[in-house]
Structure 1
Amino acid sequence: MITKREFDMLVLLTETKEVVSQRDMAERLKISAEAVNKTVKELTEKNYCKNGQITQAGLDALEPYRVKRAIFVAAGFGSRMVPITLNTPKPLVRVNGTRIIDTLLDAAVEAGIPEIVIVRGYLGEQFDQLLYKYPNIRFVENPIYNEANNISSAVCVRYLLQNAYVLEADLLLRNKKLIRKYEYETNFLSIPVESTDDWCFATDHNGVITEEKIGGTDCHQMVGISYWSEADGIKLANDLNEVYLSQGGKERYWEQVPLVYKKENYQVHVRECIAEDITEIDTFNELKAIDNRYVTG
């Protein structure tokens, strides 16, 4: 087990082939030079780094934190994007020539995530076209996508959630670095905002989510990308199924299981990004505002 600071420094060392000065480390990690010096000393004593570069032992120490798979929830109809979704699943809609889901898939591939799973339902056979560019994709069918909320998709892949990202497949990702090779802890991507009418999180002073709600002030607006550690992924498999089988369970959103109905079993941290990093296109009018090729006379 390594500390979060040790983790951050080791990951930084994997991202550069050149020796990083301690001043640069302090700037990139946003910590003091004293903290950098202390952490480098600790890592050197553990043989995790030497002369400013990560060792094989350091890489081995990171291995438990390596992301094993990316799971895409892509089964829904996308009713607010009608008419474009009448013939095309929302994740496959092109924005300025690129399919929405490709922005996420490209990031997962570049991060070296070895397994990619897509849960599909509506017009599911159309997702086969992705295999030409991403031949390693595995599909999981959600046969009741039109009878239940997205918790049904999560239940279909509940045994694959350890060391895994779960991504809404209709997000237009602009910052590929948000999808990473290593993750230290269970987290949900979010944007700190002064106020929002959207789904958001309240957090404690440690950045742990204490409440999921619609609308709030001085909160974190939810982004549909999360990561689940090995231990939390195992718990989530059981909790998802229990909530799904309970009265009204089919109407739940999947993330309500760890954040609302079974939140005592989890510590989910927020991972901050900015609004420019990612765009959720909810309606056809929003699509037209981004891509004028959908504007008709």
Structure 2
Amino acid sequence: MNWDDLRYLLTVERSGSLSAAARALGVVTSTVGRRMTALERRLGTRLLARVPEGVRLTPEGRALVRTAAAIESQLHSAERGLKREEGELEGPVRVTAGDGFIAFLNPWLARFRERHPGVRVELSSDARVLDLARQEADLGVRTVRPKGDSLVARKVGQLAWRLYASARYLERAAPLRSAGDLAGHALVGFDAMLSRMPQFRALEEWGAGRFVFRSNAAMAVAGAVAAHQGVAALPCALASLHPELRPVLPEVELPLEDVWLVASREARKVPRVRALMGFLAECFEESRSVMLGVR
């Protein structure tokens, strides 16, 4: 016996005839008849008796209908509970991201909390990468796809990188007409831990190595460029927050960087984490042109 058998029997009881039940179920009358006959055969008892008005339940049929109605009520109750859980989210969600994403995440997270005011967000931008597998955070924004089966990763976009300098710096510095000219310019960059990224290895290939400022924080690097300290490779989205910055050497192409939303498999099962993951994926898609530096 399965739920479909009981659902058919309930519909017959409520409709009063096989033909009316068939219309309610969206099938032909013969299908309802075959299902009822098969159910009676499996149970070894009569459930329905034909009468001039249609069909009526036997005592055994009435007993089974009471059981089926109770099961139906429990299923509906469970469904309502799931809908409430998805629609009325409550509790904390711990998010970790590089500081370069914070300016974008803040308004996105505010929009999410307008929808779900019961959710409390804890946003970390520590230089130390938090271990999602060990549940140091629930959801991470990453630029490297994680390895291992314990994590779920969803690619949500790409970051374009370009070379930038402030207008004031360019006015007073030596001409910058080709990549080879970078050797004569002051550079702003990331610390040793991040300097092996493909975007920075390209600078080394061009002979650029006179760094006057380094930091492990993307916002600090962008701020130093905005303060006229030199030239830097920056994500276009981050540079867009500083109107005084100008792209330089537009013919120089730097590698794109993938963006991933990452959670542990256990955290992904939590409705509020799953909801925020889906919401942030939508936000990244809406901001695709900003992330790619397309105006």
Per residue, is there more helix in 1 or in 2?
Answer: 2
- Give TM-score, length-normalised by structure 2: 0.24
